[in-house]
Structure 1
Amino acid sequence: MLSLMKTRKLLIIALLAAIGCLWFITAGSCSPEEDFTAYKEKKLKLPAGQEPVCLVAAGDIMLSRGVAGESIKQGNLRHPFAKIEKYLKNSDIVFGNLENPITPGREIGAPEMILRADPGVEFALQDAGFTILSLANNHLPDFGPQGVRDTLRYLDGAGIGHAGAGRTENEAYAAELIEVKGMKLAFLAFADPGLVPESYLAGVEHPGIAFLDREKVRAAVKDAGEKADFVVASIHAGREYEHEPDQTQIEYARLAIDAGADLVLGHHPHVVQKVEKYKGKYIFYSLGNFIFDQKWSRATREGLAARIFITRAGLGKIEFLPVFINDQDQPQLLEGEAAKSVLANSGLKLEEAAVPAWDQENRVFEKSIRYVFYAQRPLPESRLAKKQSFDLNQDGINEDYSLQDGAMKVASGLQTIWQSPGEWWVDNFFLGDSNNDGVSELNLLVWKSGSFGAHKPFWVTQDDQSVKNHLFIFKLAGSSFKPVWQSSNLDRPNYETVLEDLDGDGSNELVVTEGSYVNPKEREVNIWKWNGWGFSKISYGEPQDS
């Protein structure tokens, strides 16, 4: 009997010890090493996650005629993009439909329908953030084969990808491949041959555009799918100024998806049309005008840009940016009821999300509403796997940054030059100038035991040894990483971070999605800025210094 009682006592003691160690999240009752080991084991059981690729898709871009005249008047080819470019630049890929060739020539006036833009606009497009353009439309060959060749040459010189036109038919139908964040995306573009003269169509040895032909579209999409993880098809078709897609748009958009496309983006009607879900994929029948001089109606001055978040699992979140083309031919974001009006015909169930924005007139940061659709809900928690190449020490050679299972590693060629300590769990990293010294840094979101490292401030008598979140900043000098700033325990854990110059003053704000240590579902977006020794929180509605 005594032996049995002794055994029961030992079991109870062991059970209490186990419960005590599980209690670390709130009470920190175990040693720091046990706390962190239990935390890491919990994180390793989470599903693997991937940082999404952010694709911004915009509508028709025409830099000729009235738009060119306004740019000349302002003395700046970047003028059309001035009010929208900051919304484009914080993305991985920016796509639009270029509705004119880039080629030297005579001035184009209203109401001419033969279009061209002066060389130099390619750099304005590049500066605005555009990385790839559809050229399959009814105006790209307006200045003949030479205009097509010139456009390809100028875009190549600016480092802007293009799809849907080529020096030959094979070139025109070939996919433009872009690799970002470990994913390969393929872009294709096709135009309705009924919209153009036969001479506009690419031939065996004839520059021109790719056109809608069932077998050629199927073959191009199939070939792209064999080379890429995600295929985007742009279709230039439909009836101008009609708010509903016609049969050609519907037939070819669905054909592209049946052939293997993951997303279809539509252009040409010059007004916004609906979004359709077809076989689990999405079709934007028309994004409307993005930059154009068709100012005779509100519908032709409205357009839609979409921030589309993509992983290997497909589309995740779509954030809609309705725009209005002002009297100076510049697209600017719409808010409130005007934005809702543009989206009324989308056919999607949209949710509102608050994001930080800058009110230049009142010089305050405010919360602006964005309209979001979730094709797939994000995982509440995951183990992020992420890779990025970047020349942090500016020696002309990119380093490779990789995050896997909470461990961060930096390599130069085959040599590892830094890795995170084993007692850290790195949730995420971002590269950028967080302390506004003009030099980019490696910024880490770290979970670890203890508010401080080996040395704590003299006024702190006892360190909080529980596992909490930290922001650590390192600079790369030569081949050595040196700490710039390392926070103590953050009051609220950071889940997402973006560096962005919201107010256009030349220095970055740190936009942080913050959570809670006690409520895993809680999220709030706040703004912080480097103050010389750390980060200060910026209150919404609080006037900023001039």
Structure 2
Amino acid sequence: MHLFKAFLYFFTILFSLAACSPSPDDQISSIHSPKNISIGIKETDWISPKITVAAIGDILIHDRIYEDAWDGETYDFKPMLTEVADILRKPAITVANQETIMGGEDIGLSGYPNFNSPFEIGDALQDAGVDIVTMANNHTLDRGEEAIQNAIAYYQEIGMLYTGSFQNREDQSEIRVLETAQDISVAFLSYTYGTNGMPIPDKKPYLINLIERDQIKEEVEEANNLADVTIVSLHFGEEEERMPNQEQKELSQYAADLGVDAVIGHHPHVLQPIEWLEGKEGNKTLVAYSLGNFLSGQYQFYNRIGGIFEFDLVKEGDDVLVQSPRFLPTFVEFEEDGGTMTNVRVVPMEHAAEEQIENLDEVLSEIQNHVTQWMPELEWNVLPD
């Protein structure tokens, strides 16, 4: 039977190469999400049954960030992402953590400690290649249910997939699964440790997924049945701590034991190491404990360092394996003008200006040693000159 499948696959590939080439109209679709959201296929390998997934850290829109984005008519965040957009567009699926709720101007924009961001940040992320955002974090309830519903309505309007915070119970019950043209399906789940003490509105637990093991177990089991690969975003850990704490390790191991394929961590706002964990069934789970900030208005040096974390999903028979993890560090550049943050840009760290990072080679080496300390084989992406 396996030999027959191998011959069938071989002749299918030969026929595909001879008879057709990929069309811009090919789609990745999400059949288990509201409105059957579809997103355009990006650069992938059409010969091997393989796709690339990318993940980035916190999109943390302080008031100084949206003020710099204001061009006199609208909030234009796209220039802030120009130098990384082509990188983010290449993977089949790119996921970001939308740290600040995107409730829009009508309810009043705000920065720390109770954030509310313009809708235009969603447009910029989508333009830069982001396909799905995680919304479960400690700032989700900053501006109440209205901001959450506004954000979700806008994501639906532009066709951006979201998870971790939902419109209603029915919306929450729909596991987000992206189906790809390579016949590889990926489920995304998102949970947070808490809400900064803000109570979840009565009888509306769907507004935010908390880290509750029973719920995670139930939803991971459903996701494993629906998709080839399950990726879980966990908002956990201690802010500013460059190493994961015991709770992060235990929760990640719990996810591995459930058969989760990858854990993407957020909240510390700094990079933490990446490693493989082994689940109780002998499975391998890829864990990035914290991807740091991708775009934020934080001034501290390590808070300005994030990265693009990539890995391949490779289909081998009936299994899809996580392979070839790699990391490209990024840096938030900005200038100061009378105490105002201007010219905010996310750039590959190796391209950072000398006036932004002194001794760049030493800093890159230190970051590489830090992130790879538990996975020396982690590929360190280097951009062509």
Q: TM-score, normalised by structure 2?
A: 0.74
1:340 and 2:365 matched: yes
Match of 1:137 in 2: 137
Query: Are 1:218 and 1:255, in contact at CA under 8 Å, matched by a contact in 2?
Result: no
The change in CA–CA distance for 1:213 and 1:198 in structure 2 (over 3 A counts) is: farther
- 1:81–1:356 CA distance, 2 compared to 1 (3 A): closer
Conservation of the 8 A alpha-carbon contact between 2:177 and 2:186: yes
| 1:147-546 equivalence runs, <5 A | 147-168=147-168, 171-172=171-172, 174-180=174-180, 181-193=182-194, 195-197=195-197, 199-200=199-200, 204-205=203-204, 207-279=206-278, 280-295=284-299, 297-312=300-315, 313-327=320-334, 328-335=343-350, 336-346=361-371, 347-350=374-377, 357=384, 366=385
Deviation digits for residues 268-294 of structure 1 (CA, Å, limit 9, x no counterpart): 000000112111211100000000111
Q: Could you tell me how far apart the structure 1 residues matched to 2:309 and 2:272 are?
A: 13
Give 1:356 shift.
Answer: 6.2
> Residue deviations 1:422-457, cap 9 Å, x none?
xxxxxxxxxxxxxxxxxxxxxxxxxxxxxxxxxxxx
Give the greater-gyration-radius structure (CA): 1
Gapped regions of structure 2 (runs ≥ 5): 1-9, 15-46, 279-283, 335-342, 351-360
In the alignment, is the contact (CA less than 8 A) between 1:173 and 1:210 conserved in 2? Answer: no
State the alpha-carbon separation in 2 of the partners of residues 356 and 107 from structure 1: 36
Question: What letter matches 1:108 in structure 2?
Answer: S
Query: Deviations along 1:339-359, whole A, 9 cap, x unmatched?
Result: 3322212221247688663xx
Structure 1 residues 205-248: Cα deviation after superposition (integer angstroms, max 9, x where no partner): 45521001111111111110000000000000110000111222
AA of the residue aligned to 1:66 = R
| In 1, Cα distance between equivalents of 2:306 and 2:146 | 31
Runs ≥4 in structure 1, deviation > 4 angstroms? Answer: 351-356
Instruction: Give SS of 1:54's match.
Output: strand
Pair 1:72–1:247, CA change in 2 (3 A): same
Q: Which residue of 2 aligns with 1:61?
A: 59
Q: What corresponds to 1:513 in structure 2?
A: none
Give the secondary-structure state (helix, strand or coil) at the position aligned to 1:196. Answer: coil
Match of residue 117 from structure 2? 117
Find the aligned partners of 1:354 and 1:291 in 2 and give their Cα distance.
Answer: 20
Deviation at 1:134?
0.5
SS in 1 for 2:115: coil
Q: Of 37, 48, 51, which aligns to 1:50?
A: 48
Change (3 A) 1:120 1:241: same
Is the 1:272–1:288 contact (alpha carbons within 8 Å) kept by the matching residues of 2? yes
The one-character-per-residue Cα deviations of 1:469-515 (angstroms, maximum 9, x if unpaired) are xxxxxxxxxxxxxxxxxxxxxxxxxxxxxxxxxxxxxxxxxxxxxxx
Please say if residues 190 and 236 of structure 1, whose CA atoms lie closer than 8 Å, have aligned partners that are also in contact.
yes
Q: Quick check: 1:81 aligned with 2:108?
A: no
Change (3 A) 1:354 1:80: closer
Q: 1:329 corresponds to which letter in structure 2?
A: V
Q: Which residue of 1 aligns with 2:41?
A: none
Q: Distance in 2 between matches of 1:205 and 1:354?
A: 43
More helix by share: 2
8 Å contact kept, 1:60–1:270: yes
* Other-structure match for 2:90: 90
Deviations 1:169-212 (A, max 9, x none): 5644642110112111000000003x5335247x6445521001
Question: 1:271·1:299 contact (CA, 8 Å) conserved in 2?
Answer: yes
For the pair 1:106 / 2:105, whether they are aligned, the reply is: no
Retained in 2: the 8 A contact 1:169–1:210?
Answer: no
Q: Structure 1 residue 115: deviation in Å?
A: 0.5
Q: CA deviation at 1:59?
A: 0.3
Q: What amino acid is aligned across from residue 303 of structure 1 in structure 2? A: G
| TM-superposed deviation, 1:146 | 1.0
Given that 2:327 and 2:381 are in contact with CA atoms closer than 8 Å, whether structure 1 keeps it comes out as: no
Percent of residue pairs identical: 24
Report Cα offsets for 1:115-162 as digits up to 9, x if no partner.
Answer: 111123221111111100100001122111111111111111111111
2:68 to 52, 67, 70: 70
> Secondary structure, in 3 states, of the residue corresponding to 1:349?
coil
Secondary structure of the corresponding residue to residue 219 of structure 1: helix
Change (3 A) 1:170 1:261: farther
Structure 1 pair 353–190 and aligned structure 2 pair: CA distance change class (3 A): closer
Amino acid at match of 1:182: D
Change (3 A) 1:239 1:221: same
Superposed CA RMSD in Å reads 2.5
Contact 2:308-2:330 within 8 A present in 1 as well: yes
Residues 66 and 287 from structure 1, CA distance in 2 versus in 1: closer, same or farther, beyond 3 angstroms?
A: same
Name the CA distance, whole Å, in 1 between partners of 2:200 and 2:333. 32
The change in CA–CA distance for 1:200 and 1:53 in structure 2 (over 3 A counts) is farther
CA 59–311 in structure 1, closer or farther in 2 if over 3 Å, else same: same
Task: Sort the Cα spacing of 1:315 and 1:121 in 2 relative to 1 into closer, same or farther, 3 A.
Answer: same
Contact 1:134 1:163 in 2 (8 A): yes
TM-score by length of 1: 0.53
* Structure 2 Cα separation of the partners of residues 355 and 138 of structure 1: 33
Q: Deviations over 1:281-320 (max 9, x none)?
A: 111000000001111x211111121121112341121221
The DSSP-based 3-state class of the residue aligned with 2:70 is helix
Task: Kindly indicate whether structure 1 or structure 2 has the higher relative contact order, using CA contacts under 8 Å at least 6 residues apart.
Answer: 2
